[in-house]
Amino acid sequence: MKRILVTGGAGFVGSHLCKRLLEDGNEVIALDNFFTGSKQNVIELLQKPYFELIRHDVTMPVFAEVEEIYNLACPASPVHYQYNPIKTVKTSVMGAINLLGLAKRTNAKILQASTSEVYGDPKVHPQEESYWGHVNPIGIRSCYDEGKRVAETLFVNYASQNNVRTKIVRIFNTYGPNMHPNDGRVVSNFIVQALKNQDITVYGTGSQTRSFQYVDDLVEGMIKLMATEDDFTRPVNIGNPGEYSILELAEKIIKLTDSKSKIVYKPLPEDDPMQRCPDISLAKEKLNWEPKIKLEEGLKKTINYFKTTIS
Ligand code: NAD
Ligand code: UDP
């Protein structure tokens, strides 16, 4: 049994990760400031003797004796990370420094939840890990993109300078149960709108693409990456290479929910990336990982979840 710290453990991805780590026989400490996460996401875990939930902000130092750290604390939806951009930078950067400090003191392995946003609005397609990205450093997405890029820099430097055992996962758009109904991200927005027969809000023409991964596939990839040998510190893309336009996604969700919703077009937010698709060759080779859940199957599970949570 390992003692594992999951920051952002009450969030969407964090709650699934905590559940899986407990099922694998570990002791799990979830740490969260509940900015976008909620106790509800982990309520069923609270009865388990090897689960603890701590209210804490990662911009403040963290003390705990742990063997592994998954650093997920950071709002992920553009609506939420743009609400207080300075706080978003602090969460990524000071959070990384505090957790890396903890990893250094306790000799814990530490994994950073990075993002496909480090590639910005990419000029290389699909995106492989060697691509440096195309990020606007002063745009509305920069608090998140640059914060995550600095966090990667810190991870790489703590590995080389202080021998901390670091891992970096670059996560592509992920969806599933436990997303907040008002999260603002495209899958949850469209499903909630469709279930309520409200207008489906497509930003821009809807020709921009994303690659959508079901959360269980991501959790499997993160656990496999954490288990790699200590000197494997390179970033690894984890995502589903199935690429869809936002309009295609809207149409699929309308069909799967049998909804009467109409598609309406809203302005495209500034710096919204035009396309995104992971090259997952490295994950396949190094982790023997690839996504198993097809978009339609994952959407059905997510739709069922939202049916039970929204009225
Ligand atoms: P989420 O917003 O549901 O979860 C983030 C969690 O972190 C929340 O519970 C929130 O309350 C907590 N948090 C935020 N700031 C904090 C702080 N200062 N101190 C402590 N806790 C804090 O988002 P998610 O989708 O679960 O994303 C989890 C991680 O994965 C994030 O780091 C995100 O950047 C990364 N990621 C997610 C996606 C995706 O599509 N879901 C894609 C790329 C990267
Ligand atoms: N989007 C949309 N309607 C919505 C929410 C999002 O058309 O109600 C678009 C958004 O402009 C972007 C894509 O869907 O092109 C994915 O947005 P999301 O916020 O989920 O993630 P990200 O842009 O960070 O990939």
**Per-residue confidence (pLDDT) for residue 310, from 0 to 100:** 83
> Which domain CATH number covers 227?
3.40.50.720
**Per-residue confidence (pLDDT) for residue 311, from 0 to 100:** 67
pLDDT value at 27 more than 90: yes
Q: Is residue 288 part of a domain?
A: yes
Count up the domains in the chain and report the number.
Answer: 1
| pTM summary value | 0.98
Task: Using alpha carbons only, give the angle 56, 61, 63 rounded to the nearest 5 degrees.
Answer: 80
CA pair distance 9, 5, nearest whole angstrom: 8
Q: Is residue 11 part of a domain?
A: yes
Q: Is residue 258 part of a domain?
A: no
pLDDT value at 100 more than 70: yes
Q: What is the 3-state composition of the chain as percent helix, strand, coil, each rounded to the nearest 5? A: 40, 20, 40
Which residue has the least CA distance to atom 6 on ligand 1? 8
| Mutational pocket test of ligand 1: of 6, 12, 236, the residue with most ligand atoms within 8 Å of the beta carbon | 12
pLDDT value at 52 more than 90: yes
32 C-beta closer than 6 A to ligand 1: yes
Give residue 55's domain range: 3-176+214-240+277-292
Give the catalytic positions in this structure: 144
| Mutational pocket test of ligand 2: of 77, 81, 144, 246, the residue with most ligand atoms within 8 Å of the beta carbon | 246
Q: Is residue 149 part of a domain?
A: yes
In degrees rounded to 5, what are phi and psi of residue 47? -80, -10
Question: Is residue 134 within 8 Å of 120, Cβ to Cβ?
Answer: yes
Model pLDDT for residues 141-151, shown as the tens digit of each residue = 999 999 999 99
